[in-house]
Amino acid sequence: MKMRGAVALSGTLGYELDAAQLSDADKQAVKRQVAFYKQHRELVQYRTFYRLESPFESNTVAWMFVSPDQKEALLFTFVILGAVQPEPHITKLAGLDPQQTYVETDTNKMYGGDELMQLGLYTTPVQTSDFTAQVHYFKAKD
């Protein structure tokens, strides 16, 4: 899922803007962001946070949140500066159950917890501008 403003969704949600000045498209985007935040609020505010990639070491940033029972994980990845021809990038996740199978809910792709932590996930987005973000939500398969 690509989402502008994904950084604002990693903590407590808030906007610094005049809502009366928003276009209809921006109002719809805010509604989607608030709905997403409400759906994942407990995971983002109260669960284990992992900083995976630092913006001071490369052009990518990644962090994630994992539930205590390791059944849910929310991964945020960011590219700071866009590139004409971006290199493939792999993000290695943390804090998952290596024996568990996880489903990425947007794509329905299945991954092993050990696979996501040892081999990683390709997270290079199609970049149309600087400061692009992706959000990946993983849920343990029942």
Strand partners, 41: none
| Segment 120-141 mean pLDDT | 83
pLDDT at residue 125 in the model:
62
The model's pTM:
0.82
Averaged pLDDT for residues 102-125: 92
pLDDT band of 124, cuts 50, 70, 90: low
Q: Is the pLDDT of residue 4 over 60?
A: no
Tell me if the domain spanning 6-140 has CATH number 3.30.1780.10.
no
Nearest to 94 by CA among 71, 68, 120, 58: 120
Record the tokens describing residue 74, joined without a space. 């929310």
Domain ranges of the chain: 6-140
Give 1's pLDDT tier (boundaries 50, 70, 90): very low
The single-letter code of the amino acid at 6 is A
Higher pLDDT pick, 12 / 135: 135
